[in-house]
Structure 1
Amino acid sequence: MITFTENKSSTINTYNNTNNNNNNNNNTTTKKKLLKNILILLFLFSLINLILLKKINFNFKNNQQYHKKYYHNNINNKNDNDNNNDNNDIDSNSFVKKKIIDSFDYSSFSNSNSLIDNNMEGIKKVFWPSVYFKKQGDVLPIEWNKCTLTKLGIDTNSKSIGYAHIELDSENGKLILSPTSQNYDKDIYSYSRDNSYESDVNKIKKKLDQKVIIAHAKSCPFHELEISNSIIHKDLQIEKQLYPPVKVGVGVLVEDSDNQRILITKRAETLRIFPGVWVLPGGHMEQSETIFETGLRELEEEVGIDKSMVDLDSLKVIGIFESSYPILLAHDKLPGDHHIVIFISVKLNNNNGNNNEKSPVNLKLQEEEVQIGAWVSKSLMVKIMDGISTEYDLFNNLKGDNTNNNNNDIKRQTHLKKNKEESIEVVYPINSKNEQEKLRGDQVMDMFFKGTDNIAIGTIYILKQYLNSDD
């Protein structure tokens, strides 16, 4: 009996010990699971916090592939649309603001004002010259996200136009802007010929160095960005450590030999920025070019007017424009393109070999970039410009406008009068096939007056200044 009792007690003790061990193991497992869950929750909380603070971006794009797509064949292939788009991104802000697109993502560009991308399997894109700001002897690169007019000391809260001193240092690849007197200067419209084009390009190239009129759009996104209190805009600028360059373009105002008509062109609908907008011919500067060389090259490429058709002595700089695209500042994006556009003017000579009395020269439009060309009489252009973008009016009336009636509606109602001196001659690319869709001059005129076709604000600005000149 004693033996039996001892065995029974031993069995009970063993059972109790096993139970205790199981309970301890269960408690340990529960604690481990709880700790694991806590760690997972902490990780998820941290991840969500980083996403909300925009420290993690799940829309990562491989820089090399991204650049290869953007710059595909953009060198030495003038027929490539991407290259054509970049070569013509020089005008700004359409009169009728209906062609707004999302800004371009330049997240992998260099902070330098000259852009050289060497990570593209031998493809290299260079924007030249770099844009600099000079004040009190210091010459520093202009920041891409800063308003140029504000930098020059112009009161951009109340004005969209002013004066600047411009200098092109070709040897060092610098376009230098500096502040100058903002006092009203009527003499600026005389446009000194000290910087006229050298007929022999092998001669020493004269350096641009003069006072000019400068302007930007009333809704300039870079000015709006500077005064914005948006946390999103501030965060985007902090995150965007690498900025694209401020690019330099040249626009050319061409006048016929009789001083009666001005050439404007309508951009192709396929271009990346300002598609279908009326502008002056032009494009980006290329390395070591003078401003006039760029203008003459672009003129020949886009509309077929070569150097032999123009009066080289008539070349002069008539103004500059700070251009931006998109034309408005989005609430959640930075602007995409920032340009300094230098406008020059030139007159045709009488040796163009064209016997057509309607058109002063046989245009050959580059279809990839230009869908329509139009010779517009100066007297008609005065009426088109009158009453729009009045922030650029430095005079009560444009030159040539002898009417004292300020009722623009009356002027616009009478614009279709059969007047030989007020006409538009329309030109299309040689290979244009849509004959039924081709517009007549009077139809184009009607669209201008009704505001149903876009004229770039930079073009409006420079036309207003040119129509006020004494030449």
Structure 2
Amino acid sequence: MTNEIDPHTTPLILKHPSFCPIHSLTTSVLLPNEVLNRGIDVGVAVILESMDNKVLLSRRAKHLRIFPGLWVPPGGHLEHEETLTEAGLREFREETGFEVLPKQCIGEKLNLMAFWESVYPAKLNHGDPKRHHVVTYLHGRLKDLSSEAVSAQLQIEPNEVDACVWLDKAVVSAIVASDEEQTNTTERHQPNLPSYLTGHILSEEQKMVECRLPLSPFLRVASENCDTGLERVSSGTKFALEQWLKLAS
């Protein structure tokens, strides 16, 4: 695996949640050989920031086998001989229809931001682990394109994504404040935030249409019981958004 991004002068964070299933496994859990021998996959996700300081999240299609219905930054798997940037930009284009060029970003590149250890299912009592990833989060800030200008060029891929939304710092701060370590699905509403967000979904004709998305699913946390398909922002995404807020402060 190679990467052309210049190294940071400060260490990058690699984190996993306290409820990470891999760290809760015991010898009594017998995983099938296809899981044991699969190894750890590498994923790349792009936190794209518009010139008006908003970031784009997409909702994973509900028919996907892994993390259906979760809100995440566009991204996917690193392929053989790809750099992290190449993988991130390819996946971004495939999922959103928008091609990000490094020269469009401040510094004319995307920067490594952080790493997240991701396991599916998210908790051991949701089922035995099936997939294990290290997700690399890249960040790029567009120099001249607003969220509205990018939205006019988006066409999300229905096989991967069924909605997208731009989030400002106030909403991102509320999402990050959701305590992922708790074990209930209490919906948290922050003061002075709208009850609905303006986003886009796919119509029956597979065209993107503007819609109002309720804020409450963005403030949910992973439940103690099985929450497969429960619409919420993924734990790793909350971590990445927290890192973005630090950059944006």
- What count of residue pairs does the alignment treat as equivalent? 232
Paired position in structure 1 for 2:22: 222
Q: Which amino acid aligns with 1:195?
A: I
SS at the partner of 1:366? coil
Q: Is 1:448 aligned to residue 218 of structure 2?
A: yes
Aligned twin of 1:374: 165
SS at match of 2:159: coil
**Seq. identity, %:** 28
Q: Aligned partners of 1:350 and 1:220: how far apart in 2?
A: 39
The one of 179, 184, 204 equivalent to 1:433 is 204
Looking at structure 2, the residues matched to 258 and 414 of structure 1 have their Cα atoms a distance apart, in angstroms, of: 20
Aligned partner of 2:119 among 317, 324, 338: 324
Is 1:301–2:100 an aligned residue pair?
no
Match runs of 1:403-422 below 5 Å: 412-416=190-194
Unaligned runs of 5+ in 2: 222-229
TM-score normalised by L of structure 2: 0.78
CA contact 1:377–1:424 (8 Å) conserved in 2: no
Whether 2:241 is the aligned partner of 1:463: answer yes
Matches within 5 A, 1:222-301: 222-225=22-25, 228=26, 232-233=28-29, 236=30, 240=33, 243-259=37-53, 261-301=54-94
Q: Is the 8 A contact 1:256 1:360 kept in 2?
A: no
Query: How much has 1:320 moved relative to structure 2?
Result: 0.2
Equivalent AA in structure 2 for residue 375 of structure 1: W
- How far is 1:360 from its partner? 5.2
Indicate the structure with greater helix content: 1
Structure 1 residues 377 and 364, CA, compared in 2 at 3 Å: closer, same or farther? same
Q: 2:67 aligns to what SS in structure 1?
A: coil
TM-score by length of 1: 0.44
C-alpha distance in 1 between matches for 2:145 and 2:218: 31
Structure 1: stretches of 5+ with no match in the other structure: 1-128, 130-167, 171-193, 197-206, 392-407, 418-422
Higher relative strand content: 2
| 1:367, distance to aligned residue in structure 2 (A) | 0.8
What amino acid is aligned across from residue 243 of structure 1 in structure 2? Answer: N
User: For 1:469 and 1:454, how far apart are their aligned partners in 2?
Assistant: 24
Deviations 1:379-425 (A, max 9, x none): 2211232242379xxxxxxxxxxxxxxxx97x6254238xxxxx833
Higher relative contact order (CA 8 A, sep 6+): 2
Task: Please state whether the residue corresponding to 1:299 is helix, strand or coil.
Answer: helix
For the residues of structure 1 that align with 2:205 and 2:94, how far apart are their CA atoms?
A: 23
C-alpha separation in 2, matches of 1:321 and 1:415: 28
Structure 1 contact 215–320 (Cα < 8 Å) conserved: yes
Mapped contact 2:20–2:123 kept (Cα < 8 A)? yes
Partner of 2:139: 345
Say whether the 8 Å CA contact 1:412–1:449 is kept in structure 2. no
Q: Determine if contact 2:198/2:210 at 8 Å carries over to the other structure.
A: no
Q: Measured at CA, do residues 284 and 380 of structure 1 come closer, stay the same or move farther in structure 2, by a change above 3 Å?
A: same
Q: Deviation string for 1:226-283 (max 9, x for gaps)?
A: xx3x5x32xx26x849611211010110110222x11001000110110111111101
Distance 1:337 1:269, change over 3 A: same
Q: Secondary structure at the match of 1:469?
A: helix
Indicate if the aligned counterparts of 1:252 and 1:344 stay in contact, CA closer than 8 A: yes
- Tell me what 1:98 maps to: none
8 Å CA contact 2:12, 2:113 repeated in 1? yes
Distance 2:178 2:128 in 1: 31
**Residues 373, 351 of structure 1: alpha-carbon distance in 2 compared, 3 angstrom cutoff:** closer
